[in-house]
Amino acid sequence: MFSWKTLRRNKTVKYGVPMLLDPSLEAKVNPEKQAVILEEEYEKLKEIHLDEWKNIRGPRPWEDSREYQEQQRSNLSKTH
C-alpha cells in the first residue's frame, strides 16, 4: 500500500506529471490562445523578405573562427 507522503516525495509525480498535463489543460481552458499566437507568427513571417536571405556556413572545428569570419565578411562586402 502507498502513502500520500511517499507519493508527494516522488519526483516523477511532483515534476513530471504536471509538465505532461499542463499543455493539454491549457489548451482545454484557453483554445483561442493558440490560434491567436499562430496568427501573430504568420503575420511576422509574411513581413520577412526571404528572397534576400543568404545561407552562410559557419567555421568547421579545425578552422580558425576569427579568420573564417573575416573571410566571410570580405566576401559579403564584395557581393554588395
Residue 65: the pLDDT is 83
User: What pTM was estimated for this model as a whole?
Assistant: 0.29
Give yes or no for a contact between 42 and 35, defined as CB atoms under 8 angstroms apart.
no
3-class state of residue 30 by DSSP: coil
Q: How does pLDDT run across 5-62, given as a tens digit for each residue?
A: 887 788 777 777 777 767 666 666 666 666 677 888 888 888 887 787 777 777 788 8
3-class state of residue 56 by DSSP: coil
Is the pLDDT reported for residue 78 higher than 70? yes
